[in-house]
Structure 1
């Protein structure tokens, strides 16, 4: 049995909105619902776990009633960090479960079904997989003097979600104490010494962070 953990703990501060960004509408529907629908489209049998701050959960339930949102899911409390939120989500997966668990940003509503499938299939074979994109802009490493130098962009990749793992591997990884180098879920698994494979991502899989991102999201929806 496979699982997806949707982590949605944003407060929308950079959006300049009082409404948390995962609840902001895209085409009249909260972004978080569109995210969850994409995984339901991939596999209706996928077990969905939604990680939300406790103070946002009542509002979420009202939104589900208002939009008649009926995708079955389990809601668990968010943590103070991404690491803690992902760990809380994993606690909702049975300890003896076998299969693949994905971890996805709630504000990435345009991940393609093909990317989801690639990540789950690759994790099934290799234990851990993340979607990535090549870097198209020039990158510059900033030195201590503030000047820095250009680096080869071919040496880097842009990392997206879902990040997918063998369930038992993920559970072992998140038993580790938190470290500042845990910048995403894959870095937690890598700390065990396990290699993380890369799958091709999709450009539309943007993370909604600023008001401009919402404008891009509306354009993507209209032109999908």
Structure 2
């Protein structure tokens, strides 16, 4: 079986994608960094043996976060141009000597498993292959004064994408030769291959395989991501805990000084328990007790952030995302208002969402019921989750 590698080029600054100081490959789309989406797509392809990412010096912390948990090789540093960065990635793979290499821009986060497999098959057949889309607009060449030179035959034109796939040894040598001869003006790897005398075949690309270049492309990418998550679900969660001896309560992951504590098998965090059940409810995936039974001693005194994180990971495992979390605390005391922002920030951090997607409210029960008698605290939560249709 052929040994296949991939080079993911992520060493650019993304200066045209204005609106953020963070390079575009590390900015989120649908709650996940653009680069991570690329790495996940290639890591999920069972045909690929090694994934070599090329990054800019100083981007190591951002890269580590984007690549966490994925089976990828340690990154290498790129150069001043994309061409130099690709060469660095190819040279890093030289000791492994793969048969085929796919070269992909990190700015294209939506390359599908089908497209990746198609690239591999085309390269295995021809030795050099690139994805392309038929051009639907009329294309004209112009002179230096802006006048039309000629109208090009669009039937013979293709808009080229990545991943571009090549036999490894020839494309490595083509890049090395271009560097030796001082040629640094190639706009893609196919151009280098053509210059080196390789015949390059074009196979069908994908319209969804967009390249993020400008700020508005992030808006388009977010819309594309949301269109894939059209199964919108809502779940609710309720939790209550009684007061007992102690000097603080845990609510929403925040320690709040109080003359009593809440009793329970774990840390009795009513807020996080209610949120956990709300998310599990939206997934139709049981409740907190079925996943973390009170009868199991390992959960005695456990921090409830583990429960909420588990529920959020269940959403991610199904390819979904959390759209909004709404938490209401019912008690006479302690006062929740002074801690509202801290609770929102804590819940957002655990759930991996921004704070504007977390609402925290508090109310009393007008001295009615067990909360009114100051016997305990209740929490009500609602979770809105977006999933792909299965």
TM-score interval, normalised by the smaller of the two chains: over 0.9
1:158 aligns with 2:159: yes
Q: Partners in 1 of 2:94 and 2:104 — Cα distance?
A: 19
Superposition deviation, residue 188 in structure 1: 1.1
SS of 1:132's partner is strand
Gaps of 5+ in 1: none
Corresponding residue for 2:174? 173
Counterparts in 2 of 1:142-153, with a 5 A limit?
Answer: 142-148=142-148, 149-153=150-154
Superposition deviation, residue 181 in structure 1: 4.5
Corresponding residue for 1:132? 132
Q: Partners in 2 of 1:111 and 1:98 — Cα distance?
A: 21
- The partner residue of 2:27 within 24, 29, 37 is 24
Corresponding residue for 1:13? 15
SS of 1:37's partner is helix
Q: Partners in 1 of 2:114 and 2:141 — Cα distance?
A: 33
Superposition deviation, residue 20 in structure 1: 0.2
Q: Partners in 2 of 1:37 and 1:119 — Cα distance?
A: 17
Superposition deviation, residue 45 in structure 1: 4.5
Q: Partners in 2 of 1:95 and 1:190 — Cα distance?
A: 25
Corresponding residue for 2:104? 104
Q: Partners in 2 of 1:90 and 1:207 — Cα distance?
A: 22
Q: Partners in 2 of 1:111 and 1:45 — Cα distance?
A: 14
SS of 1:5's partner is strand
- The partner residue of 1:188 within 175, 185, 192 is 192
List 4+ stretches of structure 1 deviating above 3 A.
none
Instruction: Tell me if structure 2 keeps the 8 A contact 1:12–1:18.
Output: no
Q: Structure 2 vs 1, CA of residues 21 and 135 (structure 1 numbering), >3 Å: closer, same or farther?
A: same
Q: Residues 130-156 of structure 1: CA distance to partner in whole angstroms, max 9, x if unpaired?
A: 000001111111123321143221121
Instruction: Tell me if structure 1 keeps the 8 A contact 2:4–2:47.
Output: no
Q: Partners in 1 of 2:65 and 2:84 — Cα distance?
A: 26
- After alignment, is 36-45 or 72-81 more displaced? 36-45
Corresponding residue for 1:84? 84
Instruction: Tell me if structure 1 keeps the 8 A contact 2:55–2:77.
Output: yes
Decide which structure has the larger Cα Rg and report it. 2
SS of 1:177's partner is helix
Corresponding residue for 2:206? 202
Q: Partners in 2 of 1:73 and 1:95 — Cα distance?
A: 13
Q: Partners in 2 of 1:63 and 1:50 — Cα distance?
A: 11
- The partner residue of 1:214 within 210, 214, 218 is 218
Root-mean-square deviation (CA, aligned residues, Å) is 1.7
Q: Structure 2 vs 1, CA of residues 13 and 203 (structure 1 numbering), >3 Å: closer, same or farther?
A: same
Q: Structure 2 vs 1, CA of residues 77 and 96 (structure 1 numbering), >3 Å: closer, same or farther?
A: closer
Q: Partners in 2 of 1:46 and 1:215 — Cα distance?
A: 33
Instruction: Tell me if structure 1 keeps the 8 A contact 2:40–2:70.
Output: no
Give the TM-score normalised by structure 2.
Answer: 0.54
How many residue pairs match? The answer is: 221
SS of 1:208's partner is coil
Q: Partners in 2 of 1:100 and 1:24 — Cα distance?
A: 30
Does 1 or 2 have the higher relative contact order (CA < 8 Å, sep 6+)? Answer: 1
Q: Partners in 2 of 1:99 and 1:183 — Cα distance?
A: 24
SS of 1:92's partner is helix
Superposition deviation, residue 96 in structure 1: 6.2
1:57 aligns with 2:60: yes
